[in-house]
Amino acid sequence: MKKLIQTGLLILLLLAVTIASAQQKDKYVMVIHGGAGTILKKNMTPEKEAAYVGTLTLALQTGYDQLQAGKTSMDAVEAAIHVMEDSPLFNAGKGAVFTHEGKNELDAAVMDGKSLMAGAVAGVTTIRNPISAARAVMEKSEHVMMAGKGAEAFAKQAGLTIVDPSYFYTKERWEGLQKALAEDSVKTVLDHGNKKSMRMGTINKDYKFGTVGAVALDHDGNLAAGTSTGGMTNKKYGRIGDAPIIGAGTYANNRTAGISCTGWGEFYIRAVVGHDISALMEYKNLSVAEAAQAVMDKVEKMGGDGGLIALDAKGNVTMPFNTAGMYRGTVTSAGKIQVQIYK
């Protein structure tokens, strides 16, 4: 009987170790997104799908390598977003969409979950990696946000890579603008007198490409979040979206979660999405998944679309979206990478 009991205890111990090991493998240390929108498999060639998966995988691996080397969550976020900013596939950095005037105007933000320090840049046209400029604003200035020429001058002074605006040109994005301009002229006639159209302009959801973003959790338990974007195709009047707005498109707090959003920015600003998720977790004790879904439901009810990524301080991740697809991926503490595109 004694031997039987000992055997039973040994089995229970092994089971507990197995469960603990499985839970450890499921702890996420980074989540990224490359935008949400009308992303359908039927419209995607095998080559382009492979390119997206490859770049997202590289971004996750790059961020994970930073964490494994003992670097901070902010280092991991910046490194992962660099990969996506340097790729023409995504609407950030090299792949940024064009404004109505035919320019590439970039926005970015970062936030540190431990200190609640944050930095952002908006409407910049010559900074190769806006996410690094946002970090420089956070770490090397007394401000939170800088815009336009002032932000560019600051970035140059901070030693960041400055490029000619032509660096951001891609044929695909330019053709996207031409198509949007053609439809814009038609819509101006068709929508004349429609109050909602006059208020919102002539935005066509099909030309609203997403942002890129990352959230990481480092070995010290600190969260960081970052978001970078080229905004909306055919945007007018110096429009700035939610990505560089702390508490809207970007937010991080060690007490709750790190969040990066992608979608129709006007709605994310009005819903204060990032901070609202954090507040629901802190004040109502909702899980990160429950809080994120509740806020996404609110955005959808308001008329907005898009998605978000969120990672809490315990390594739980959620990636809700209400569009046809969202480029997204995760990596666990064990280094397991998973990338998804469609619903």
Return phi, psi of residue 199, to 5°.
-75, -40
**Domain limits of the chain?**
28-342
Burial track 84-113 (b if 16+ CB lie within 10 A, e otherwise): bbbbbbbbbbbbbbbbbeeebbbbbbbbbb
Q: What is the pLDDT of residue 185?
A: 64
Structure tokens at 138: 């956070």
Structure tokens at 283: 């004040």
3-state secondary structure of 148: helix
Q: What is the pLDDT of residue 192?
A: 33
Q: What residues pair up with 30 in beta bridges, in sequence order? A: 216, 331
| Predicted model pTM | 0.89
Please give the full DSSP string across 194-238, using - where no structure is assigned: -HHHHHH-S--GGG----EEEEEE-TTS-EEEEEEE---TT--TT
| CATH homologous superfamily of 28-342 | (Glycosyl)asparaginase (3.60.20.30)
Residues 6+ apart with CB under 8 A from 288: 256, 257, 277, 281, 310, 311, 312, 316, 317, 318
Q: What is the pLDDT of residue 195?
A: 40
User: How confident is the prediction along the chain (343 residues), in pLDDT tens digits per residue?
Assistant: 555 555 554 444 444 444 444 444 479 999 999 999 989 999 999 999 999 999 999 999 999 999 999 999 999 999 999 999 999 999 999 999 999 999 999 999 999 999 999 999 999 999 999 999 999 999 999 999 999 999 999 999 999 999 999 999 999 999 999 999 998 765 544 333 334 433 444 454 544 556 999 999 999 999 999 999 999 999 999 999 999 999 999 999 999 999 999 999 999 999 999 999 999 999 999 999 999 999 999 999 999 999 999 999 999 999 999 999 999 999 999 999 999 999 8
Rg (CA), the chain: 21
How many C-beta atoms lie closer than 10 Å to residue 332's C-beta? Answer: 18
What's the maximum distance between 2 C-alpha atoms anywhere in the chain?
A: 88
Choose among 321, 319, 320: nearest CA to 338: 319
Give all strands of the β-sheet with 317-318 in edge-to-edge order: 250-252, 257-263, 306-312, 317-318
Burial track 170-182 (b if 16+ CB lie within 10 A, e otherwise): beebeebbeebee
Which residues are catalytic, by number? 211
Q: Which helix (H) or strand (E) holds 66?
A: helix 46-68
Burial track 33-47 (b if 16+ CB lie within 10 A, e otherwise): bbbbbebeeeebeee
Q: What is the pLDDT of residue 38?
A: 85
